[in-house]
Amino acid sequence: MAKKAKRALSEVISAAPHDDRWLSDPWRTRIRRRLLQWFKKNARSLPWRDRASDPYSVWLSEVMLQQTQVSTVIPYFKRFLEKFPTVTDLAAAEEATVLQLWEGLGYYRRARQLHAAAKQIVESHDGKFPTQYDDVLALPGIGRYTAGAILSISTGQRLPIVEANTQRLYSRLIASTNHPTDKAANALLWEFAERILPRRDSGQFNQAAMELGALVCTPQQPDCPNCPLQPCCAAHEKGLETIIPGKVKRIQYEARDEYALLVRHPDRHAYFVYQVPAGQRWAGLWDFPRFGPPHASSLDGAIRQARQDFGLEIKAGDLATTIRHGVTKYRITLYAHHVHWQSPEPSSLEENQQWQTPEQLQSLPLNTTGRKLANLLAAE
């Protein structure tokens, strides 16, 4: 190893408290052998694993799995591949179609970036998913972890990955007592992740590490008695397995009231919806007019804001339903009200505004609460 590389490694090692047994070649060999043997017997049957040699499928699954449980992702993954079997198919789709298929997975920015990346692949790589690391990293929505996961799993490239499951597993294996979000601890984990990779089957090893973290080395109450790596685990030896990797500071959630307006056309069974503009929550999706602080703190305030924003001459009606849900740091109580026109004819609509029947609403991409409201109207 060059002097510069040795010095950099020394700085990484000394910056974060940990057990240094991982620097031993025999220890790393034992970890690899035990983990791969365990994975061979215990790997879950997942649809993307049946297509592990296809970088497009691996990419799709990795994006969907970000902040989302495996059981939730499975049906979405199957529907996406059925609708968009190739990158070219995804690139050619309308954004509204992509968002509608994504509906319910949340974090819609992922879907928009997926769509943008597919277009970039068509324009820059002739519709073939790139297999060079820098090319993959340059795609929208792809960072170091995702690029490494895609290429190691689909092409066997020796690339490390550090995500929620592996950072917890690796932190415990080396008894890293700083939280993984700490800069020094994070650098140490990436160094470990690179050094622990076998020369071959890196994709299998990365999958095995993520699987063990998901099924055995869990955040609370890790199943140490059934862990194949327990004899090698520094945290278990030191009695730190329930303490490492530490707790993230709890989010202080803020209560918030919002108001959705179900504006019915005066002459037919259709409701006013609009496409949320860029830069706002749920951009690109369609929604009923809804308002909260700082624009409105009451139903009357929401009515006034709707008149100002959309030119809707309306008055408040009955409460249709109340929905409680969470968005980022907010715990929202959404009051959905029927509202009525005060004049017989609605004004003309702009390009991103429509009157939609309850049946037509079923084909529009809506956010989760918007879908609940659409279903409520369809049932009336």
Q: Report how far residue 135's alpha carbon sits from residue 277's, in angstroms, rounded to the nearest whole number.
A: 30
pLDDT, residue 249, reads: 66
Query: For this structure, is 163 an active site residue?
Result: no
Q: Are β-strands 290-291 and 254-263 bridged in parallel, bridged antiparallel, or unpaired?
A: antiparallel
Question: Of residues 248 and 367, which shows the higher confidence score?
Answer: 367
pLDDT, residue 64, reads: 97
- Over 90: is that where the pLDDT of 12 sits? no
- Over 80: is that where the pLDDT of 295 sits? yes
Reported confidence tier of residue 15, pLDDT bands at 50, 70, 90: low
Task: Render pLDDT for 57-68 as a digit per residue (tens, 0 to 9).
Answer: 999 999 999 989
- Over 90: is that where the pLDDT of 361 sits? yes
Q: Report how far residue 358's alpha carbon sits from residue 336's, in angstroms, rounded to the nearest whole number.
A: 16
Reported confidence tier of residue 267, pLDDT bands at 50, 70, 90: confident
pLDDT, residue 326, reads: 87
Reported confidence tier of residue 4, pLDDT bands at 50, 70, 90: low
Average the pLDDT over 244-252 and give the result: 76
Looking at mean pLDDT, say which of 191-195, 292-296, 311-315 comes out highest. 191-195
Q: What is the largest CA-CA distance in the chain?
A: 82
Percent of all residues in the chain with a pLDDT value above 70, rounded to a whole number:
94
What is the third-level CATH fold of 3-237?
Endonuclease III; domain 1 (1.10.340)
- The CATH 3.90.79.10 portion of the chain extends over 254-379
Q: Which CATH class is domain 254-379?
A: alpha beta
Q: Report how far residue 34's alpha carbon sits from residue 172's, in angstroms, rounded to the nearest whole number.
A: 16
Residue carrying the six token digits 């060059």:
2
- Over 70: is that where the pLDDT of 13 sits? no
- Over 80: is that where the pLDDT of 303 sits? yes
- Over 60: is that where the pLDDT of 224 sits? yes
Reported confidence tier of residue 14, pLDDT bands at 50, 70, 90: low
Question: Of residues 11 and 164, which shows the higher confidence score?
Answer: 164
Coil/strand/helix, residue 277: coil
Reported confidence tier of residue 271, pLDDT bands at 50, 70, 90: very high
| C-alpha pair distances (Å), 158 with each of 9, 146, 325 | 19, 14, 42
Active-site annotation holder among 62, 103, 211, 258:
62
Q: Report how far residue 202's alpha carbon sits from residue 308's, in angstroms, rounded to the nearest whole number.
A: 58
The reported pTM is 0.85
- The CATH 1.10.340.30 portion of the chain extends over 3-237
Q: Report how far residue 243's alpha carbon sits from residue 226's, in angstroms, rounded to the nearest whole number.
A: 19
Task: Render pLDDT for 326-345 as a digit per residue (tens, 0 to 9).
Answer: 888 889 999 999 998 887 67
Of the listed ranges 29-43, 110-124, 298-312, 346-360, the one predicted with least confidence: 346-360
Q: Report the chain's mean pLDDT, rounded to a whole number.
A: 92
